[in-house]
Amino acid sequence: MTAGPVTAVDDAAEAFERLRRHLSPKLALTGSFAGRGAVEASGEGCRVMLSDGRSVLDFGSYAVTLLGHRHPEVVAAVRHQLDTMPTSTRSLANPVAARAAARLAGYLGDVLPKVYFGLNGADVVEVAVKLARLASGRPRVIAVRGGFHGKSLGALALTHSPLYRVGLRGCAVDVVHVDPADPAAVLRELAGGDVAALVFEPVQGENGAAALPLDVLRRWSEDAARQGAFVIADEIQCGLRRCGERSVALAEGLPVDAVLLGKPLGGGVVPLSALVCSERLYAPLAADPFLHSATFGGHPLSCAALPAALDAIEHLAGHGRMLSDQLAAELELLRRRHPGVVAELRGRGLLRGIDFTSPRAAGAVVVELAAAGLLVSPCLGRPTTVRLLPPLVSTEADVAEAVEILDSAVAVAERTAGG
């Protein structure tokens, strides 16, 4: 039988069987649990239609759908490119990638003029660290406890949680992880003169939406810059207005050599990530453009989405600030109503983490949310925390609905999980 659109319960059963047989039984199990036996059928805005006819509110998708599903301007831009030239020869110059690079550099204020395009976050983490080591001639990298930078082998070395390194004897990069509570940590690590780069997320997504202290980040960045180490802000999850600013690091005046962007950069329609950096960091790639290349890097379909995505993000930025204020206020009321089970609220802008008193309580909430029709993003490395990632296209009513569903789920957890 040929595969086609999933529109019925029978098609969902077949999809789960294919997942079990050809991908992973655990993917089938978790997907079946989250959808209550249904699968994704279509999406529009912040809603996803399931194969059984239900509509669920998407405040998850691991930060990809900042513009919701199928934003019309982004879809139109991609469709136009699809009808024109959907792929690149890789031998001839492609104006779509050139236009996207110029637009992205300008979007960040033209302070970081060079751009490298990848398809996912780990792509640009890898190239940023590679360039830092080559440009500096130094081997070591400083990362941060609680940080997440990807699961490919090089990026995995920067990711803090040992959960993702089970069965691996080592990673390809010499990395030390410093404590965000220690302002002097980076200076001590720099003493050996062998540090190529400091890499950090201003707001750590997988660590429960933990915003790092700005005074510590400023000292770390200034210490690294004075010693000639590159400063790299990984904003793959928190950038592009997710946390209010185009770039959190640049808005705070941190002396960064690079900002890494991804997830919603392709407008939630196509995969796209980017390293936006200084001439000094980019120098090895400028000298040899084939030093680091990828067949689908700078893919025309993805690059065509970028200008439309940035336009849409900026158009909705003010609305996003209003949603952020509403969400923060409503979550604080929720915390006060459930002090026995909600331990702490974290985050910034439209990246929020609710930390529960135990993994059991957090798990009970996730179970209830799945049944009630609210998609969230659990934190794999922090099982006590549930992430909320509302799209910019959400309405005030959508946020109120999400918090009402969450409130009911937390009440159940309070009764059943020992809260």
Question: What is the full per-residue pLDDT of the chain (419 aa) written as tens digits?
Answer: 344 444 555 689 999 999 999 999 999 988 888 888 999 999 999 999 999 999 999 999 999 999 999 999 999 999 999 999 999 999 999 999 999 999 999 999 999 999 999 999 999 999 999 999 999 999 999 999 999 898 888 888 888 888 777 777 666 789 999 999 999 999 999 999 999 999 999 999 999 999 999 999 999 999 999 999 999 999 999 999 999 999 999 999 999 999 999 999 999 999 999 999 999 999 999 999 999 999 999 999 999 999 999 999 999 999 999 999 999 999 999 999 999 999 999 999 999 999 999 999 998 999 899 889 999 998 988 999 999 999 999 999 999 999 999 999 999 988 876 54
121 Rama class: left (phi>0) / alpha (psi -120 to 50) / beta: alpha
Question: Domains in the chain, start-ordered, CATH in brackets?
Answer: 1-35 (no CATH), 36-69+316-416 (3.90.1150.10), 72-312 (3.40.640.10)
pTM > 0.85: yes
**What is residue 162's predicted lDDT score, i.e. its pLDDT?**
81
Helix, strand, or coil (residue 264): helix
DSSP code for 45: B
391 CA to centre of own chain: 13
Among candidate residues 399, 240, 206, 227, the one with its CA nearest the CA of residue 316: 240
Q: b or e along 225-259 (b: 16 or more beta carbons within 10 Å of the residue's beta carbon)?
A: bebebbbbbbbbbbbbbbbbbbbbbbeeebebbbb
Classify each residue of 114-151 as buried b or exposed e, where b means 16 or more C-beta atoms within 10 Å of its C-beta.
bbbbbbbbbbbbbbbbbbbbbbbebebbbbbebbbbbe
Residue 195 contacts residue 189 (beta carbons within 8 Å): yes
